[in-house]
Amino acid sequence: MDIATDKLVLRARQQGPSAEAILKVMSLLDPEMQQGVPEEVLFAGVGKFQASSAPVYTNEYRYDSRYPQDMDDFFIELRCLEAARLVHTTLDRGSVFNKMNKAHRDRIWDRIGTRVAQIGEHGVSEAEYEYRDDLHEVFNTAIALVTAVWPFAGICDHNDTERLNKMAEIKYLFLSLVKTLAFLGPAVKQARVDIQLFALMNDFQRMTIFHQRLRKTSQCFAKLSQEFLEYLRDDGYETLRLVDPYSWAKLATNYPDDDFSALAVMDPEVDKVHHFKYSKILSDSHRYQGITALYTGSHITATRHLGKWFDMLLVRISDYDDHDDKMTLAVAYNYLGMAMMRKPTPNVEGAKKLWIRACKKMELWEAPEGRMPPGFSIFPYPYANLALLAAYYGGPVSLIDRYLQAVVKSMNRNGDSSVPHNIEDGLNLVWSGNIYLMRGQHDLAYHYHKKGLDVLKETCLKDSVEVSWAHYRLAVDRFNRGEYEDVISILSSSTPRFWKETPYQRAQKARMLWKLGCAERADGDLDFGRQTGDEALQLRRELLPDERDFSEPDSTDVDWEKVVFYMYR
C-alpha cells in the first residue's frame, strides 16, 4: 500500500467509521486485496457511476472497467448513496470481516500497521515524512473501525457470555492496534492517537483476568493506558483525538442520503467532551489495574489503584452528575471491600461496611416494579461477600437470606431461570449452593452446585477459575455422599496444570489437591492419597510460611477454603 493509497484511505474516513469504505478504497488500488474482499463490498453502490475522466494513478495499478476512475466523483457518489448503510454494516458486529478468511483480514491490518510504523524518527524518506499525518490518520481510522465493532462493557455486564465470545472472535483486530502503538513509541504525541484505543486496552485487560491463556498478553494493558494518557496530558487535550462512531452513525441515519449538512455541527474537539471521555478512560485504567492486582496477590497495589479509581469517580460525579458513574459506585465499594480483606490481617468490619454500602447503591439499579430490567444482570459480589461473612464469621441470617433472594431475582429477570445468560448466573448458583451446604441443606446444595457447573461450563472457558470453583463444590458434595470414585474423576481432570503463576491460583490448586487426596485415601489408595496430600500441604506452606501447628490429615474443608478466598487469606 503506497502513499497514494494512504491518502485515499484518509479520504474514505470522511465517510464515517466504515470498514467497507476502507476496503473499497484498498481494493481499488491494491490488486491483492481484490482477492480477499467480498464482491458485494467491492462493487456495492457504484454500479450507476459512469467514469468522467481518466484514472488518476495509472503507473502502478490497472482499473477494472467496473471501477470508478475519478476519485473525487467516487467519494461524492459514496457519500450520497452509501454513508448510512456503510455505518450500519460496520456496527453490525463486523459482518464484512466475517466474510473474509483470516489471512486476508490480517493482511489488511498488517499493512495499516506497517505504514504507521514507518513514521519513526529514523529510516523514513522525506516523501514519507511529508505524509506522516496521513499515515497517522490511517492508524486512527483503524482505531475507529475496531471501536465501532467492539462490544464494550456496560456497568456490570463484563462477563456477559455473548460479549466475551465476541471479544474473543475479534481480538486480533485489537491486538494489531496495540502492536502498532508499540511501533509508534515517542512519536505517539505527534500521532494524535485516538484515546478510544486506551478504552479498548482497559476493556481487554478486564476480560482476560479470569482467562488464563490470554492474561499474560494483557496484564499490562491498563498500566500502559494510564501511562500513555498521562504522557499525552502533559500538553493538554490538544494532542488527543476523539472519534465517536456510534454518534456519527446515529446522526447520519436520521437524515436523507442527500442531506449531510447536519454533520457539520458535530464538534468532537469541544474541551468538555474531551475531559469527560479522557477522565473516564483514565479512571478505568486505575480500576482494572486494581482489580487485576486483587487476583494476583498484591493487596498494596490493589488498594492504591482502587482508591485512585474511587476518588476519580467521586470527582466525575461532582463534575458531570453522570448516571453510569453513580451506579458504578456500588462496584467500587465492592472491590475496595475485597482489598481490605486481602490484607495480611483482614479488616472484616471495614469490608462489611463497604459491602453494605454497595448493596444500598445497588437498590437504585432495580426497576420500579422490583424486577431487573430485561437483559440486565445483577452484580452479585457484595451480596455474596456479606453472606459468606455471616456464614463464616457469624452474623445475622438475614444477610444470607437477602443474598439468596437477590440470586432468585437475578436468575428470573427475564422470566426464565433455566436460560444461562452469563458467568454471574453460574457464580450465583454455586455460591447459593455453598450457603445451603453451610446450613446443612445438602440436597439443595448439590442441586445448585450441579446447575451452577452446567452454566459455567457453557459461559466460561474450560480451564477458567470459575469452572474449577464449581467442580470443587460438586466434588465436596459427592465426597459427603461417599461417591469417592466420582470425586477422584472430577478433581483429577479439573485442576489446570498451568496454575503456577499467582498465589490465588496456587491456593485453589492446593485446595483441590487436598480434597483429591482425601478421596483417594477414603477409596483405599493410601499411598496415592498421602502423596497428593503432601503436595497440597507443600503448596499451603509456600502460601502461608508463618502458619504453625497445621496438620493436613486433621484439616477440614473450611481450613482449606480460608487459603483460597481473599477474605480468609
Task: Convert the pLDDT of each residue in 459-501 to its tens digit.
Answer: 876 667 778 888 999 999 999 999 999 999 999 887 655 555 5
Residue 130, pLDDT score:
45
pLDDT of residue 530: 92
What pLDDT, on the 0 to 100 scale, is given for residue 374?
Answer: 41
The amino acid sitting at 19 is A
The whole-number pLDDT of residue 544 equals 81
HSE-CB for 412 with a 13 A CA cutoff? 8
Q: Enumerate residue ranges in the chain where pLDDT < 70.
A: 1-142, 144-145, 148-149, 155-157, 172-173, 176, 179-192, 209-219, 233-274, 297, 364-378, 397, 399, 403, 406-421, 461-463, 495-504, 565-569
How many separate helices (H) and strands (E) can be counted in the chain?
28, 0
- Cell readout for 527 is 499411598
User: Across-strand partners of 160?
Assistant: 422
Helix extents (H) in 102-160: 102-117, 126-130, 132-149
Where would I find the H helices in 295-441? 299-320, 323-341, 348-362, 381-389, 397-411, 423-438
Which triple of cell numbers denotes residue 264?
A: 457539520
pLDDT of residue 57: 28
Confidence (pLDDT) at 488: 94
Helix (H, G, I), strand (E, B) or coil at 511: helix
The confidence score (pLDDT) of residue 35 equals 52
Q: For the chain, what is the radius of gyration of the CA atoms?
A: 27
**Separation of alpha carbons 496 and 502, rounded Å:** 13
d(CA 123, CA 354): 55
**In angstroms, how far is the first alpha carbon of the chain from the final one?**
56
Q: What is the pLDDT of residue 43?
A: 38
Centre a 10 Å sphere on the Cβ of residue 398 and count the other Cβ atoms it contains: 9
Grid coordinates given for 439: 446450613
Note the pLDDT of residue 54. 29
pLDDT at 409: 64
**H or E element in which residue 157 lies:** none
